[in-house]
Amino acid sequence: MKRALEDAAAGGHNILMIGPPGSGKTLLAKRVPTVLPNSNLDEALETTKIHSILGLLPKRQALVATRPFRSPHHTTSNAGLLGGTANLTPGEISLAHNGVLFLDELQEFHRDVLEALREPLEEGRVVISRASGTMAFPANVMLVAAMNP
């Protein structure tokens, strides 16, 4: 499984890991950002802007230089994963921009949430339309998913 993750990271491919509980799927997924190449300045600035919108910048750190790793719970809604709400804020997929979006227990996610990921994963961005306006957020992520057989 380690070799498959290295190959997926090198090629920028998404990956699904299937194995019994306790086999190390989550542990390996958390290490994927360390295998990815370092962020360049443009990527770090994009990532910083997204985190800044939600006030998620670490104290005394002006730039998010490491690749993000986001692991939303399987009960996450469309708005939580893609973004939205009344304020048109970014969701988990945008917070993982230039990094890894990890979906653990993939089979537990609601079908409509998984189907909503298709276009952002293909396009590398998510467009949110509400009555108050339309906003596009970047969503260039490596999707790592894990599930039990």
Question: Total domain count for the chain?
Answer: 1
pLDDT at position 61 is 84
With a cut of 80, say whether residue 132 has pLDDT above it: no
The rounded mean pLDDT for the chain is 93
Q: What is the pLDDT of residues 67-124, one digit of tens each?
A: 999 999 999 999 999 998 777 889 999 999 999 999 999 999 999 999 999 999 999 9
Q: Which residue range forms the structural domain that includes residue 63?
A: 2-147
Q: What is the CATH number of the domain that holds 85?
A: 3.40.50.300
131 or 7: which leads in pLDDT: 7
pLDDT at site 2: 84
pLDDT at 23: 94
What pLDDT does residue 58 have? 80
Q: Which of 68, 42, 74 is nearest to 145 (CA)?
A: 74
Strand ranges (E), the chain: 15-18, 69-70, 83-84, 89-90, 100-104, 125-130, 133-138, 142-147
Predicted local confidence at residue 129, as pLDDT: 85
